[in-house]
Chain A
Amino acid sequence: MIQFFGRSYDREDLIAGVLFILPAALIFLIFLVIPIVFAVAISFTDWNGISPPSEANGVGLANYEALLTQPGIRQSDFFKALKNTVYYVIGVVPTQTALALLLAVIVNQRWLKAKGFFRTAFYFPSITSSVVISLIFMWLFTRGGLINYLIGRIFPGYNPVNWLDDPTGLIHNILGLLGVTLRSAPDWVRTKVLGLTIWDWISGPSTTMISIMLLNIWTTSGTMMVIFLAALQDIPRHLYEAAYVDGATGWRAFWSITLPMLRPTIFFVVTIGMIGCFQVFDQIFVISSGGPAKTTLTIAWMVYRNGFMNSDMGLAAATAFVLFIIIFSLTLLQRRLIGERMQI
């Protein structure tokens, strides 16, 4: 026995424990903890990523100011990226969660045959490389591609949409149909707020961004369906039996048993969905590189572009930490909101 801070440990266990944990702990220390500390320091410099970091100049908070407060292209790009990312999250997260839940509830029905087949079909996209899926979607969404072909077959008069190169925003397009354009809109929409005009803020996701959103919904719904399915199978059957004896319909049972029992799972699925969406990167890299007209510029893509294409590692590191703070606070906020409701 060995004493440490007033506690006694088995000598052999202590040595084995330290030796067993050491390799993994070293990997985390060297490639995760130290680099993050390093990157925080880099975010206060103008390091270009090429010369030795010791030659970089300290710039104080300049990188953060350029992104957040100082009017200019970097600020307007950052808020453009924030806007695009937020539209992306709002479009993708609720849709994929609802779709995954719907599919899971259907697959979970007792009368359904070939459950295994459906589970496999829905899960398969999640094991495929994001680059491959992006390429396949690009091919499907080209002007002469299958998506336009399919829509053209259903609606004969359809004028093919150029999905991958259309910067017009969804809300702008809807307003346009109602006769509201920038020209006819009142003057106040031209007011600049945080680098963008109000008109730009309310653009909605561009057509190209919508294609990428569809891609993400298509890929992740399956994984989330499998998670929901596992949770559904854990709900005790007698709850439903009791409800049916009391005369509840299937619909009623869904709202008063299934949904409340699934609340922790929904929280989990929404959280990982949101964290994933805020980081959307691979798809942007392959499909659009932030274009057309910066409408698919996302914060994650900006981190890469600033650091590796514009050789401004300081700005890139600052962008990454702002993104981290956004994701972190949203997770906490969500935990608080749903957590409170769970106690009722």
Chain B
Amino acid sequence: MAEQAPALKRAQPLTLRDRLSHVMNSVISVLSFVVLVIFALAMILPFIFSIANSFKTLPDINANPQRLLPSDLDEDGWPDFSIQGYREVAAGDFPRWTFNSFAYSLSVMISHLILDSLAGYALARLRFPGRDAVFMGIIGTMMIPGIVLLIPRFIILKQLGMINTFAGLVLPVMADAFGIFMMKQFFESIPREIEEAAKVDGANRLMIFARVVMPMSTPALTALAIFGFQGAWNDFMTPLIVVASDKNLYTLPLGLALLRGFAGSQFRWDTFLAGSIVTTLPMAIIFFVLQRYFVEGIAYAGLKG
């Protein structure tokens, strides 16, 4: 028994240094776990407290933000949850803004799926004059900070008479350089032979693209769809410059931000918290269902970007 593998290691007596480093390693492990838990709590608790407080009355939110349950009890002795904030949200413009947010995000998502993949495929597979120049141009636009586009976008939309229109909101962001780049990279990773085979069978390029290439690209398309939807759902700057003076066209982030503007110093935190939860919920659901693709997508963006 003494000759077994684990015993071999023990054949040499542990030096003090070995023991010290062993203790040190355990201490570091415990410490780093504590650090991790503290930061995880810091990330999660603001959301937990926001959700909890959104079900309390305004005076209770202001007096006891630290309590997760309402201070008052109902006649049966249960915590008396208040849905006043949500009631105001439902009665106000929020249903309209929620609809607009969905319309905006889905339009952007669908157009990215189509335009970005078409362009990505052309850049990956189809040889035409000026292809490299077009590719460099598209990559170049990624270097332009969004804030620099604020004024130019406003100017062109004003010239085209598209300020305060839904088209003005969607058209400028229908294609996206990062998505094109991502799709190009992905299409290049597909073996050419599959397309060649379809070509021999007499299919034209559009048919090959639609029937052969696209069905093989679900992982990349899912990431593309998520990025498109998320970007538009959380977008604040585009709606702000395009539709800020037409309340009927607000999206949720714009509506929330401008409500805060009208509030001055009188904050209806019950309404704001309820509105924040309503704005976050659809994205949160998508995130928890498609989590894998989010993390893969962002990692992909990080490595290739």
Contacts and interface: CB of A to CB of B under 8 A. Distances in A.
B166 interface: no
A322 to B, nearest CB: 10
Interface stretch (A34-42, A179-187, A188-196, A336-344): A34-42
A230 interface: yes
B116 A131 contact: no
A36 B299 contact: no
The contact size tier of chain B is: 35 or more
Interface string A284-295: 011000000000
Contacts of A300: 147
Interface string A248-285: 01100000000000000100110010010011011001
A14 B144 contact: no
B291 A109 contact: no
Nearest to A25: B134
Interface string B67-99: 000000000000000000000000000000000
Given A278-B145, A323-B148, A119 B295 contact: yes
B4 interface: no
A140 B61 CA distance: 11
B294 interface: yes
Contact of B155 (A10, A53, A124, A281): A53
Contacts of A268: 302, 305
B279 interface: yes
Contacts of B145: 275, 278-279, 323-324, 327
B65 A132 contact: no
Given A128-B280, A323-B148, A25 B119 contact: yes
A32 B302 contact: no
B152 A39 contact: yes
A286 B155 contact: no
Contacts of B150: 303-304, 307, 316, 320
Given A35-B153, A320-B147, A121 B119 contact: no
A39 B103 CA distance: 29
Contacts of A150: 66
Contacts of A13: 125-128, 205
Given A39-B151, A129-B234, A303-B147, A223 B119 contact: no
Nearest to B299: A230
Chain A binding surface, main DSSP class: helix
A24 interface: yes
B200 to A, nearest CB: 14
Nearest to A36: B152
Interface string B232-253: 0110110011001000000011
Interface in A102-123: 102-103, 106-107, 109, 111-112, 117-123
Nearest to B252: A129
B243 to A, nearest CB: 13
B118, B145, B158, B230 — which one has the most chain A CB atoms within 10 A of its CB? B145
Contacts of A279: 145-147
B35 A121 contact: no
Given A135-B276, A136-B276, A103 B36 contact: yes
A31 B156 contact: yes
Contact of B180 (A12, A24, A324): A24
Interface in B1-58: 21, 25, 28-29, 32-33, 35-36, 39-40, 42-44, 46-47, 49-50, 53
A321 B260 CA distance: 30
Interface string B100-115: 0000000000000011
B141 interface: yes
Contact of A122 (B29, B43, B175, B241): B43
A4 B171 CA distance: 33
Contacts of A118: 36, 40
A9 B129 contact: yes
B257 interface: yes
A94 interface: no
A158 interface: no
Contact of A144 (B65, B115, B153): B65
Given A25-B134, A226-B299, A124 B43 contact: yes
B143 interface: yes
A292 to B, nearest CB: 13
B182 interface: no
Contact of B118 (A24, A109, A145): A24
Given A32-B149, A42-B151, A144 B62 contact: yes
Interface of B: 21, 25, 28-29, 32-33, 35-36, 39-40, 42-44, 46-47, 49-50, 53, 62-63, 65-66, 114-116, 118-119, 121-123, 125-129, 131, 134, 137-138, 141, 143-156, 158-159, 171-175, 177, 180, 204-206, 209, 230, 233-234, 236-237, 240-241, 244, 252-254, 256-257, 260, 267, 269, 272-273, 276, 279-280, 283-284, 287, 291, 294-295, 298-299, 301-303, 305
The 9 closest A-B pairs by CB, nearest first: A17-B126, A35-B152, A227-B302, A230-B299, A17-B128, A16-B205, A20-B122, A24-B175, A31-B172
25 contacts: A14-B129, A20-B118, A20-B209, A24-B119, A24-B175, A28-B175, A32-B141, A36-B149, A38-B152, A39-B151, A99-B39, A119-B295, A120-B291, A124-B47, A124-B287, A125-B43, A129-B252, A130-B234, A131-B279, A136-B46, A144-B62, A227-B302, A229-B299, A307-B154, A308-B154
